[in-house]
Amino acid sequence: MGKLHLLAILMFGVCIACLAQQAGKLPAGVKRLDDGNLQVGEIVVRVAKGELAFPARFELQEGALEVVIAKPNGRLHETLLVTSCSALQIQTLLYLLHADNGARQPVKFGRRGDIVDIDIEWTNDDGKKLREPIESWIIDNRTKKPMERIGWVFVGSDVRNGVFQADSEGNVVINWSSGSTVLDCADPDSENDMLHSINTQKAQPKKHPTVTVVFKPHSKFAAK
């Protein structure tokens, strides 16, 4: 078992303990915010809402899309958003929200990963705060229309030789189903690398370039 795998398990246990103990001293690396939410690094667990939030910025303005959210070491020439947050931490905190990973598509044996909705919270150039589905910025090249909101599959990444592969490859969310990642595209045709492109008709923030990505698992969250 790799060192990072052990770290993920330990971190998961710590986070569960944080929710179970509403009072008292929190473990190192976990901070309780004034609103009762938890923060690990730059990632905020919105406890009551059952969702994760973390910062990112837009990268591509146009062209073919194969990655939806990349790390700085990822495929920046074909990604919609970039975040510096750890894919390992994001995956671990999804477990905290009672999401389970699994196969991208339904399988005869085993289970499919839980579906997670992704929203973007952003401020437009007029100063108005908005929350919209990430699919609004993605074109389905089959229909020439914005991608249908069908959610993203929590496939989860693995550890090889002590290295968490999603962080190593720089993927958090992919729409072309190739490579290690936390979330993958739910569309059965996503093995086609020409399936999606950037929606050039959808505004991207210029005055306020940093946005907040929100992951909300479909599975019901209940703090214990």
pLDDT digits (tens, 9 = 90+) for 13-57: 555 455 545 555 677 788 999 999 999 999 999 999 999 999 999
Domain ranges of the chain: 3-217
Residue 30 per-residue DSSP state: -
Residue 161 per-residue DSSP state: T
Section 96-118 average pLDDT:
92
For position 2, what pLDDT does the model report?
43
For position 108, what pLDDT does the model report?
80
pTM of this prediction?
0.88
With DSSP H G I counted as helix, E B as strand and the rest as coil, what are the percentages for the chain, rounded to 5? 20, 35, 50
Task: Say yes or no to pLDDT of 61 above 90.
Answer: yes
Rounded distance, CA 208 to CA 173, Å? 23
For position 53, what pLDDT does the model report?
98
Section 185-189 average pLDDT:
96
Query: What tokens appear for 208 in the block?
Result: 């306020």
CA neighbor of 94 nearest in space, from 115, 75, 76:
115
* pLDDT one-digit tens code per residue, 123-173: 998 999 999 999 999 999 999 999 999 999 999 999 999 999 999 999 999
Section 99-126 average pLDDT:
92
Residue with tokens 């968490």: 164
CA neighbor of 64 nearest in space, from 206, 204, 197:
197
Over the range 34-52, which residues count as b (16 or more CB within 10 Å of their CB) and which as e? eeebbbbeebbbbbeebbb
Over the range 192-211, which residues count as b (16 or more CB within 10 Å of their CB) and which as e? eeebbbbbeeeebbeeeeeb
Give the DSSP letter string of 34-82: TTS-EEETTEEEETTTTEEEEEEEE--SSSEESEEEE-TTS-GGGEEEE
Pairing outcome for strands 67-70 and 64-65: unpaired
Q: What is the mean pLDDT of the chain?
A: 89
CA neighbor of 142 nearest in space, from 192, 185, 176, 105:
192
Question: Is the Cβ–Cβ distance between 65 and 80 less than 8 Å?
Answer: yes
Q: How far is CA 125 from CA 23, 80, 87, 199, in A?
A: 41, 19, 30, 18
Question: Is the Cβ–Cβ distance between 138 and 147 less than 8 Å?
Answer: yes
